[in-house]
Amino acid sequence: MSARSLVQDSGAAAWAAGWSGGTRVCSTYTDRVTESGRAIVSSPSKQSRRRQVVLAAPRGYCAGVDRAVITVEKALERYGPPVYVRKQIVHNRHVVEELQERGAIFVAELDEVPEGSTVVFSAHGVSPAVQQEAKDRGLKAIDATCPLVTKVHHEARRFARDDLEILLIGHAGHEEVEGTTGEAPEHVTLVQSPDDVDRLEVRDPSRLAWLSQTTLSVDETLQTVNRLREKFPLLQDPPSDDICYATQNRQLAIKQIAAQSDLVIVVGSANSSNSVRLVEVALEAGAKASYRIDNASEIDPAWLADVDSIGVTSGASVPDDLVRGVLAYLVDQGFPQAREERLTEESLVFALPPELRKDLRQGAIND
């Protein structure tokens, strides 16, 4: 797995305005996959249809994930192992396992980190209390929080300064939600789904604002916001969309191929919110079946019975070699090479954390 994908940017933030455009670009995906397709007859109409595998794009690593993974890699190079990481740096077990092999130690909380050690905060962000704990224990902290999550933290602090109650749309227990809540704990109320709105009680209906976790389903978040606005007409919006461009792009990309898919395979770990959402989006967009897997070994051959068209995508924390493994498996099962259908190009790149950049420059000077 290489962490050198450094891609992304889209301008896909127009989902709130009902964006549905995008240029479809098809190409054959040939990297490490060989030709062995064949025609079969399996449709209910008894007509012959050729098997196909369509690879959604964009998929895989986003700019925030790439930055976080490279941060740990560079920290290991600069300081040497062990480098401690609070929580999983990104929600993908293969990435975590590879970094562990290189000397990273993943911990649940900072009290597991020896005083004076180097610790990296994950891409999902941390609360001010965690940052203060690191200072109190003399830890060298490197903050790999995704800048798009940091943006939500800034918005939470601003709304709190204005004494607004913040309705945070997200999932209880998710690290990102915990970090955002920690920015203004007395002001945040969690809303997990549209159904939560009916029983929601607030201090002052005229003093409300909403924010969201960055990795949610775009459609479900819109439903929740619409329900909130029906109940609280004076609800204030964040200055810009909180759901990140990569989450939006991956959902839009799978939507454009799901309706023509008998099966959609989503590569991503079970604790990856955006990967789980991709399964839901594929089914809602018309896929006959959709499953999430960590890698090709988890594919159940029974899923492929009577299937002609397969869509494949991956969550924003998934290295592309895992997707290539799925495509190779499908070729072995008699499916043809995948063709890529691209929604949009992404080019956003985030700089490494400033504290790490400084040490890397100093190291280069000393060398």
- Residues involved in catalysis: 176
- Nearest Cα neighbor of 322 from 300, 302, 292 is 292
DSSP letters of 111-153?
A: GGSPTT-EEEE-TT---HHHHHHHHHTT-EEEE---HHHHHHH
For residue 24, CA distances in Å to 51, 126, 217 come to 20, 38, 22
How many Cα atoms are found within 13 Å in the side-chain-facing hemisphere of 101? 7
Dihedral sign, CA of 344, 217, 162, 151?
negative
Strand 25-29 versus strand 188-191 pairing type: unpaired
Q: Under a CB-based contact definition with an 8 Å cutoff, are residues 155 and 211 in contact?
A: yes
- Considering just the CA atoms, what is the radius of gyration of the chain in Å? 22
Angle (nearest 5°) at CA 319 between 318 and 322: 90
Beta bridge partners of 83: 104
